[in-house]
Chain A
Amino acid sequence: MKQNETRQPIMKIRHLTKEFKIKSKKLGAKPQILHALNDVSLDVYEGETLGIIGESGCGKSTLGRTVIQLHKATSGSVEYQGQDLFSLAGAERKAMKRDIQMVFQDPYSSLDPRNTCEQIIAEPLKVHGIITDSKARQDRVLELMREVGLDIQHMNRYPHEFSGGQRQRINVARALALQPKIIICDEPVSALDVSIQAQVLNLFNRLQRDHNLTYIFISHDLGVIKHVSDRIAIMYLGRVVELCEASQIYDNPLHPYTRALLSAIPPESPFEKKQRIVLKGEIPSPIGDQVGCPLAGRCPNCTERCTREIPKLKDTGDGHQVACFLYES
């Protein structure tokens, strides 16, 4: 988008890499290395939704968690409003955490079962010492509950008394409590039924308009991602393989993986006949060193070069970036 060229990104993710060590079964053997994230660089602009999509094991959740420092990055940096997040400590770090909040996937396990709804939403306010007066804090909690569409009479209920959709609303209210700039949503609707999912997606859209929020929205459902996102990053095996405007992914997918992913989605009507691009086999193991393009073994357009070199993310014009040798001249 032309706008983006003048806009400064609110968050810059640069060469982010995360490796997990896996203990070897044999005694004394060197631990193996699982490459969860490989050299991921992304810009996030203020007020936009960056959608991240990929199959399980592609590193999309690890990306969200590494950005918010639930995992320690192996290398690379995340810059937020000009500050390097990973070098912050103490009070500065705490202040930064106010600006970046997270909504987790499972609405059942991400709420403490022994706290009431009010306590859950009030906790971040307490921890960060924003509202010390308990009456004022309760008012703020009620305001937040109203905002996300919860019945304020339910403030003294425990999580088990709520349905999945309501619990996810509590999660959103808790994330909103600190008036963050960026919310990282890690599959926030995948545990919900379609009719409830639609309600929660509308809630996300409304909150973004009202508060000028920036979302990093992680999901495996292309329909959902397309619906909420301004830009979409497609991940495969720890790498971003394509990055484009939300409309382009459907109109003009470039990477062979993106095309296969689109063709694998069940049709939208019984009259639609899809030409399916079949990827042979399954996603390879991220353990051990990678040689060549991660898709090389499954790609219908695989060449000899793909098995030797790793393609880099390159711009094909209009901000549409793709990591594939097919588009290199």
Chain B
Amino acid sequence: MSDTLLKVSGLKTYFFTASGVSKAVDGVSCELKRGEVMGIVGESGSGKSVTSNSIIRLLPPQTGRIVEGEILFEDRSILAMSHKELLEFRGKEIATIFQDPMTSLDPVFKIGKQMVEMICAHQKVSKKEARDMAVHALKRVGIPEPEKRMESYPYELSGGMCQRVIIAMAVCCKPKFIIADEPTTALDVTVQAQVLDLLKDLQREMDTSILLITHNLGVVWEMCDKVMVMYAGNTVESADTKELYSNPLHPYTWGLLDSIPRLSDHAKEDLRTIPGTPPDLRLTGKCCNFYNRCPYMTEECCKSVPPLVEVEPGHFVACHRQNGVERLVRGEVTHEAK
């Protein structure tokens, strides 16, 4: 068996809406090895969640469609799977943790019932065994009095507790791959720290791969081995976490790193910002999507889409001016660009 668990190449997911075709994901490629944690960062609307939903094929059937690309999971094509295969596949091989813990549990069923239902669907066990497994999983994720909690409804638990329940459900079937879509965004910092610690522990214990979607770079630094930066549906940069932090190459990544207020900053200094706003996804795809906000823009940027090139081993960038031939200096705006 090869070392690569998941391989996404040239994925394009479009939404066909009444007002035009929205190119939510327009060329995403990534590779994930066994036991690796990869982060996807980007602003809202950059296509992070659509990418993850494409991987498990959870797109709205009326509008969303994967128009191009290939997703391989252990050399099996996810895009070629039938509905029945998918049902088997989701939850057992790939588990998902969604952003909002309160709404991803069904409010009218008890926690225990929801967990038992999930376990029985994927494993050939009796209800009693499934129940024991559920209690064990709840205990593992640090929920006090797990037996009592089995009889609780989701509204009786706090946000952090609900997220633990969801993580417990996700790890019940020992999946090889977990997609965590903004797992801590709805939580407070102290609770976020607890949940991240838990995820990290579980990941090490079971040697699972995690695809962590977040807009918080701090979470990426803490959790991930490698990271992919997305902008307007494209992968703009992807590298090892440490490499990306110490040697970011894409102008958007520079802007992103600069615009975060840090604790170690001096107070009241103006932050360096990225001017403007992200583009309309119906109009992208003809040129570099970042050109109108980029201080290093040249004529070429408005003409063609920059390809994703490997400038250093494992470090991919999609920028006309950073493709290995040319090199930009951070903070130095050239004449042409002005």
Contacts and interface: CB of A to CB of B under 8 A. Distances in A.
Given A226-B265, A271-B242, A278 B194 contact: yes
A264 B193 contact: yes
A182 to B, nearest CB: 18
A272 interface: yes
A65 to B, nearest CB: 20
B273 A202 contact: yes
B259 interface: yes
Contacts, number: 125
Contacts of B192: 264, 266
Interface residues of A, number: 47
Contacts of A195: 43, 255-256, 259, 273-274
Interface in A53-89: 55-56
A193 B222 CA distance: 20
A119 interface: no
A279 B43 contact: no
A222 B263 contact: yes
Contacts of A194: 43, 215, 217, 256, 259-260
B238 interface: no
B263 A268 contact: yes
B190 A261 contact: yes
Given A193-B44, A195-B259, A195-B273, A250 B193 contact: no
B221 A270 contact: yes
A196 B46 CA distance: 14
A279 to B, nearest CB: 6
A55 B189 contact: yes
Contacts of A34: none
What bracket does the count of chain B residues touching chain A fall in? 35 or more
Contact of B267 (A166, A226, A268, A278): A226
Nearest to A279: B190
B158 interface: yes
A90 interface: no
B227 to A, nearest CB: 9
Contacts of B219: 266
B62 interface: no
Given A198-B274, A206-B270, A272-B221, 10 more contacts: A55-B191, A202-B273, A222-B189, A226-B261, A226-B263, A228-B268, A264-B190, A266-B221, A268-B262, A282-B191
11 contacts: A194-B256, A194-B259, A196-B43, A201-B271, A226-B263, A261-B190, A262-B263, A266-B219, A271-B245, A276-B193, A282-B161
